[in-house]
Amino acid sequence: MLLTVEPDGPVPIYQQIRDRIVEAIASGQQLAGSALPSTRQLAMDLGVNFHTVNKSYDILRQEGLVRINRKSGAVIRRDAGSGPPDTSWTRDWTGRLVTLLAEAAAQGMGPEQIAEHCRAAVTAFAFPRAAEDTRQESRP
Amino acid sequence: MTAGSLTAVIAVLLIGVLTCVAPALTRPTLQFGVRVPPQRTDAPVIRRERRAYYWRATAIAACCSAAALVLAGSGSARLTAVVLPAELAAGLSCFWVARERIAAAKHAEGWYAGLRQAVAADTSWRTEPPRFPVAWLIPPVAVLVATAVVGAVRYPDLPSRLAVGFTASGTPDRWVRKSAWGAFSKVAGQLWVTSLWTGLLLIIYRSRPDTDASEGADSTRRYRIFLATYSRALLALVTLVNVGLLLAALRDWQVYRLSGIGAALPVLPAAAGLVILVAAAVRTGQAGSRLPDPAARPGPVPHVNRDDDRFWKGGLIYINRDDPAIMVGSRFGIGWTPNLGNPRACLLYGGILAAIIALTVVRAVAGA
């Protein structure tokens, strides 16, 4: 997985790291059970403070996408094939989605145009069937 | 020509060659220590400054090599060694002239305006880390052990005064009293060289690769090949330095005595090792920048590497307090450099410097 962050960009670095990992999970680059680098290693590779990466991992843990333990470090907990998420998570996500779509509508985009952008973004994701195929390919 | 003056001549020649080829070894997006976007690597100012640098560096290398050869012919190793700092200073001046002009053009023309600057990390570097070439440590350690064993066997039969310096004719010209340190100083040298480079390479294997945001995972693939090739070349150099020290120790222990150019025999293995190292550097380039392109290159990428010139003092010294890295890739030429903004890197290099001073003092006391 290639993690690219813009240190001088408007989005905080911890948020960018969290976003890139979520995108990698959604696109099937990171499957459930795969390991992430330790916080210190990733901080060294990105040239950022260790606490920044720690904060990203902590958000991912709270969101249920990553589990962290002392021995195995950070491991992906969920992916596109892990089944439906909790109802409470879906409710929160819908709230954020409404705000995001409202931004497009407020800027003058029509429903068809918004739906087209959504479809284009979703085609890059690995949904259950694609995720299963990737798993089978990675098996010896 | 003594062994000492021959060593100085080899050092002058090597520094001259490295100064001349350094821009060709460096990444195209790092021109004389200045970060430039991929779209500007062929800018007129860069082409002009590279051409001027090559002319200047070649002239300096030629003059210094000629001066070193003439001075070495007079037999003075110290006088020959004086050429080396002069050559380094002249080479650095050429570097800074080119750097200042390229940096001025970069700022005046706003090369990074409107570009999305980023840093990239390839997580496969940590989940599938490269393996340290442990097998390549066997030859230098074997030479070290062999030297220590021969020394232990020879020690009881050694005279009360040991010859440690020789003239061109092979006649001893420097003596030390017989002592464990005096007799085994070459073994201590082997131990120092082997442990220093093993330790530094272990740190380098744990450091970050030079992942380029505009090249993506391909830059990590190249870095893996570069690290594997260059670390093996370094360990081959360590082996050959140890062989040179073994030959010097055998001469000190009166196992053999050669006169004329043969007296310089202990210098030759290290010179051969340096040739191997330069060959590896020319083949791979810094971080694998000279390796062939992959058959299928990825499409256009939205990012360029972050403009990090502000962390590089004089274009060569890296100081970034927010970066946890101890070692990072060199900005000019080939290899690695410490992050002097990291206290652990300062401790490491302070320790190495202290050890060199301590070894020099002990050697001087033992020889007094």
Mean pLDDT, residues B135-143: 97
Mean pLDDT, residues B240-245: 96
In the predicted structure, residue B331 carries a pLDDT above the cut 80: yes
Q: How confident is the model at residue B44 (pLDDT cuts 50, 70, 90)?
A: very high
Q: How far apart are CA B48 and CA B282, in angstroms?
A: 22
The per-residue pLDDT for A131 is 47
Q: How confident is the model at residue B236 (pLDDT cuts 50, 70, 90)?
A: very high
For B11-20, write each residue's pLDDT tens digit. Answer: 899 899 999 9
For B193-234, write each residue's pLDDT tens digit. Answer: 999 999 999 999 999 999 999 888 889 999 999 999 999 999
Kindly give, in sequence order, each residue whose CB lies less than 8 Å from that of residue B319, ignoring residues fewer than 6 positions away.
Answer: B311, B313, B339, B340, B341
Chain A residues in contact with B118 (beta carbon < 8 A): 4-7
Task: Give yes or no for a contact between B3 and B263, defined as CB atoms under 8 angstroms apart.
Answer: yes
3-class DSSP assignment, residue A14: helix
3-class DSSP assignment, residue B332: coil
Task: Give yes or no for a contact between A48 and A8, defined as CB atoms under 8 angstroms apart.
Answer: no
Q: With pLDDT > 90 as the criterion, what percentage of chain B qualifies?
A: 65
pTM (2 d.p.): 0.88
The per-residue pLDDT for B176 is 76
The per-residue pLDDT for B60 is 95
H or E stretch including B23?
helix B3-25
Average pLDDT, chain B: 89
Could you tell me how far CA B105 lies from the centroid of its own chain?
A: 31
H or E stretch including B359?
helix B343-367
Task: Give yes or no for a contact between A56 and B330, defined as CB atoms under 8 angstroms apart.
Answer: no
Distance from CA of B213 to the nearest CA of A (A): 7
Which of 214-253 (B) contact A at CB < 8 A?
Answer: 216-217
Kindly give, in sequence order, each residue whose CB lies less than 8 Å from that of residue B108, ignoring residues fewer than 6 positions away.
Answer: none
In the predicted structure, residue B285 carries a pLDDT above the cut 90: yes
In the predicted structure, residue B366 carries a pLDDT above the cut 90: no
Output B169 or B265, whichever has higher pLDDT.
Answer: B265
How many CB pairs below 8 Å do chains A and B form together? 78
Test B121 with A35 for CB contact under 8 angstroms: no
Predicted ipTM? 0.83
One-letter identity of residue B161: R
The number of helices, as runs of H, and strands, as runs of E, in chain B is 9, 10
Q: With pLDDT > 70 as the criterion, what percentage of chain B qualifies?
A: 92
For chain B, state the CA radius of gyration: 23
The per-residue pLDDT for A52 is 95
H or E stretch including B218?
helix B217-252
Test A8 with B306 for CB contact under 8 angstroms: yes
Distance from CA of B326 to the nearest CA of A (A): 9
Nearest Cβ partner for A3 among B120, B209, B324: B120
End-to-end CA distance of chain A: 20
Q: How confident is the model at residue B273 (pLDDT cuts 50, 70, 90)?
A: very high
For A67-99, write each residue's pLDDT tens digit. Answer: 998 877 899 999 888 888 889 889 999 999 999
Q: How far apart are CA B363 and CA B368, in angstroms?
A: 9
Distance from CA of A28 to the nearest CA of B (A): 15
**E-strand spans in B299-357?**
303-305, 312-313, 317-318, 327-329, 336-338
